[in-house]
């Protein structure tokens, strides 16, 4: 299915990352000249995906929505993170997530589906071709970024499990390991971290199961080895380091809603008309643009309204925030 590109992101709205563009072109040239031995074997993007042994995706399946938009510098995207399992400070995950063990990795699938069980990361990835998608990304704290993610539509994976007619929602769980995740020793949240989507949201072609960014395998602090990207929702909905997927017939619990339902609703769609109780969501500041950069108007559904608004027909977005 061809996906129409959402509202274009103006170059003036983000910080350019020329290094990424140049590196991608250099990798393509090196591959063509045979300077990267075995690269095609490492990155099986056409016949089935695999994580490259050298950490670099040198060839990716094309996506109709990809364009030349400059991403936010990678140094900001990988050093300013929310990942409470490794600390509540924005810089804590980059400092602490080196303890996360991502190999081996498995995902347990359960609930209202015909094909359930525990699957290795290779099982999850093998049949799928990876794509690079440049998505706008918005955090509830009113900062934004533009990131080239590497992954494939989550719906392609979920269909393999044959969800039943009773599957109205999908719940996801992050790894919960006190030995490798120092943050879970603190009661700041109820562990394990969990998130949820309606089945329609989960199956939407914009919802991405992600294994990389900037042409590289996901760093630990960004949710290695497997995370969601739901680009029209606030960032905490894009759960990291997934180890369990549950198909459900009722709305699942989600971590931030459990912690503070007044501030964090189940849907958590980006909506400039619905303020967080402690601040407005009507504007945002691009990450890396500096404290004195002009704030920009927040777009409904983060700029993806044309693609996803029909998911919420008849739903009061102010009450169902």
Q: Over the stretch 2-40, which tens digit does the pLDDT of each residue have?
A: 233 334 344 344 444 454 455 455 444 333 433 333 332
Of 124, 112, 132, 121, nearest in space to 154 by CA: 124
140: CB partners within 8 A, 6+ apart: 234, 235, 236, 264, 268, 276, 281
Domain ranges of the chain: 11-312
User: What would the mean pLDDT of 302-310 be, rounded to a whole number?
Assistant: 96
Query: In the chain, what are the helix, strand and coil shares in percent, each to the nearest 5?
Result: 25, 20, 50
**pTM for the whole structure:** 0.87
Q: Quick one: which H or E segment has residue 40?
A: helix 39-42
Domain 11-312 class, CATH top level:
alpha beta
The percent of residues in the chain predicted with pLDDT above 90, rounded, is 78
Among all chains, which residue has been given the structure tokens 């600390």? 87
Contact 145, 77 (CB under 8 A): yes
Residues 183-203, mean pLDDT to the nearest whole number: 97
């Amino acid at each position: 299915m061809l996906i129409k590109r959402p509202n274009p992101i103006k170059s003036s709205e983000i910080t350019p990352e020329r290094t990424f563009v140049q590196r991608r072109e250099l990798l393509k040239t090196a591959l063509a000249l045979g300077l990267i031995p075995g690269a095609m074997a490492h990155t099986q993007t056409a016949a089935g995906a695999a994580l490259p042994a050298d950490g670099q995706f040198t060839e990716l399946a094309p996506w109709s929505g990809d364009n030349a938009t400059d991403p936010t510098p990678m140094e900001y995207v990988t050093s300013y993170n929310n990942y409470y399992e490794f600390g509540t400070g924005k810089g804590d995950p980059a400092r602490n997530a080196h303890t996360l063990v991502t190999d081996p990795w498995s995902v347990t699938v359960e609930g209202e589906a015909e094909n359930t069980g525990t699957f290795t990361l290779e099982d999850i990835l093998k049949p799928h071709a990876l794509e690079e998608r440049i998505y706008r990304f918005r955090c509830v704290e009113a900062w934004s970024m533009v990131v080239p993610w590497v992954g494939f539509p989550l719906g392609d994976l979920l269909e393999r499990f044959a969800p039943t007619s009773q599957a109205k929602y999908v719940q996801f769980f992050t790894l919960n390991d006190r030995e490798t995740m120092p943050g879970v020793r603190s009661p700041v949240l109820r562990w394990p971290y969990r998130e949820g989507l309606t089945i329609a949201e989960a199956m939407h072609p914009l919802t991405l199961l992600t294994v990389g960014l900037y042409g590289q395998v996901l760093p630990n602090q960004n949710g290695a080895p497997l995370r969601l990207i739901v680009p029209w929702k606030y960032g905490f909905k894009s759960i990291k380091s997934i180890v369990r997927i549950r198909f459900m017939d009722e709305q699942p619990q989600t971590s931030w809603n459990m912690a503070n339902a007044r501030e964090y609703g189940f849907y958590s769609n980006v909506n400039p008309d619905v303020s967080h109780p402690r601040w407005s969501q009507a504007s945002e500041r691009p990450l890396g643009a500096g404290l004195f950069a002009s704030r920009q108007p927040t777009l409904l559904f983060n700029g993806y309204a044309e693609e996803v608004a029909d998911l919420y027909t008849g739903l009061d977005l102010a009450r169902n925030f």
